[in-house]
Structure 1
């Protein structure tokens, strides 16, 4: 079975990203090496889509593009950078856990206030 190939429109549909964002990601080194058809149109692979979905995951956690680009650069260097990549992800995980703790505290306070209003 042949691996799926996506046009720009297909990738936009799958990720919700705009043309401008996709072009920016290419220029910024976050999405390098996108194949081109003879007419110059971009042709995205399943690997490209999987990577973009991971980028969106990282962005949703607040990871800066600079760190995502660093992660991508390390990835391209191969297995010798596995530990460095792991450290980046562990650092992001810690930030997420701290944010979750803060949000849990805020949710608890809001729930308490709602319960107070319900008791009136």
Structure 2
């Protein structure tokens, strides 16, 4: 049994339209039907972890967690939904996040699918 932190890509990353990232199922839903969400919120900015991942990792370290589980946004990695079109920027983001976690002595656990895939 281990204690750590866990996040969902849609709920934390933001930057839904940065670089090669494309609209995912949640983006489409929150933009098309905002009235279905009590406060009309969406994940466009979320916690802005896409830009602030170093600060986020520092917070995880300060809390004292040794494990961090995060999910992959496939709309950021595979903009067309196909493996013949891989976003270098998306891969770089996750490599940088994992590197930052390891530098800070935090073991990574990756949830490979958390309902965040391209709409294409």
State the TM-score, normalized to the length of structure 2.
0.27
Q: Which has the higher helix share?
A: 1
Relative contact order (C-alpha < 8 Å, sep 6+): which is higher? 2
Q: Which has the larger radius of gyration?
A: 1
State the TM-score, normalized to the length of structure 1.
0.27
